[in-house]
Structure formats: C-alpha cells, structure tokens
Amino acid sequence: MILNKIRPHLTTDRWGRYLLLLALVLPLLVFRDFTRNNELRYLVIADEAIGDGHVFAFFNQGVPYADKPPLHLWMIMAGRALFGQHCMLFLSLLSMVPALVILRVMDRWAGRELGEQSSRSATQLMLFTAAFFFMGAGVVRMDMLMSMFIVLALYWFYRLYSGERPPGGRVLFAVFVFLGIFSKGPMGLLIPLVSTVTFLVASGAHSSGRSPRRAECTISVSRALQTLTRRVLALNTIAAPLARSPSASK
C-alpha cells in the first residue's frame, strides 16, 4: 500500500523524488555524531574564528589554518550563529543538498540521451546509492559543495557550447568556477579548466571551420578562466602578508 503511494514520486520528474531521498538519509543526518579526526576540526576552527572575531583569517588551536578556502567555514559559522550551537542536521544539509542538486542537474543534462523517465530515475538512484557519492553526501565536508559547483560549471559550459542561452550565460559559468575554487581550492579550477579545454580541442571547436557560436564559446571560456586565474593570484598576494603579520597570530 505504501509502496504504491511512493512509486509515482520515484518514476516522475517531480521534487517529491528528492524529498523521499532526503527522508531516506534523515536518520543518518540527525542521530550520528561528528567524527573526531575530521569534522570536529572544522568546528573547532569555526569556533575559534567566532571567539576571536576573525572572518578572513582562520586558526586551529592558535596555528594559522590555510588548507581550505573559507566558504564552507563561513557556512559553519553561520549555522553556529543561527542555532547557537553546531546543529548536525544543518551541517549535514550543507553536503546533502548539493548532492541532490547534482542529481537534478545530471538528470536535466542527460535526460535527452536516457529517454524514458523510468531510465532517468534508475540512473539517479544508481548515482545516489554509489558508495563514494553517498558517503560524500553524508559527511560534513566541502567536497560535495565543490562537486556541485563543478557540475554546474560544466553544465553551463555545455549549454553555451550547444548554442543555448542559459540565464546568466558566460557570467554564471565564471561564477560557478570561482565558487568551486572558493569551496575547496585548486581542484575547483583544474577540473573545469582541463575538462572544457580538452573537450574544445578534441571537438575542434577552436578551428576556424567551426560555427561562430562554438568559437565564441571557446573565447568566452578562455577569458573567464584567465580572469579567474588573475583574481585568485591577486587574492593570494593580498592574503599572504596578512597571514604572516604579527597581529594575525595573536
């Protein structure tokens, strides 16, 4: 009886499917504890930043911490300010929601090739229940957040390459790449950079015999990546002296 009520949500392209997947992992998000050697480290860094009034400079028990960009730590700090403590459900959603967004984007991206809705639903469930994807979605880390921005960047690039005019266009492609960098560092830049450039070279879109739309896409990607590289280098130039200054270590 219950299965008959759930089946339509799993076999149609509606948001009910994603709510059911979220309900499936809800006990894991609510009742588990933070891992001592991994997740608690980010909570300690966020607590120390809040206690010292730091926003851009982070420390782990007094030692400067610059291993990861600040976006995920800012989200942890926002959750602490909102709830007054570290809420496991809120922090887990920072990974689970990006995972569901990836499922949605990949469904829209590959939907034309997969055809029937039942095949699309089965593909989504296969991805969601894959060990690496499922565990990444249940850990309080920035990996799934970065993956979401990478997938969005590649999806937007492909829409531009295909001649579509997605909202935001070239600007959103650059924004997604930047947010990928701001989530976990260089991998957020390297994966879109290598993927898009390799695809353009392999497809011959850089040659003069290709359509103007694809040539324009090639130029847009190159300019966006060049601009992002300059911005990242500029931020690193500004942040390095601040991290080494005596006042920052107090």
Full-model pTM: 0.77
Bridge partners for 60 per DSSP: 63
229, pLDDT greater than 80:
no
Residue 211 and residue 25: Cα distance in Å, rounded?
Answer: 46
Q: For residues 16-21, give the mean pLDDT.
A: 78
Per-residue pLDDT reduced to its tens digit, 176-210: 988 988 888 888 888 888 888 888 888 775 554 44
Residue 112: pLDDT band with limits 50, 70, 90: confident
Task: Give residue 97's pLDDT.
Answer: 92
- Mean pLDDT score of the chain: 78
233, pLDDT greater than 70:
no
Domain boundaries, the chain: 142-250
The answer to whether residues 234 and 192 touch, using CB atoms and an 8 Å cutoff, is no
Per-residue pLDDT reduced to its tens digit, 142-156: 889 999 999 999 998
Q: For residues 62-88, give the mean pLDDT.
A: 89
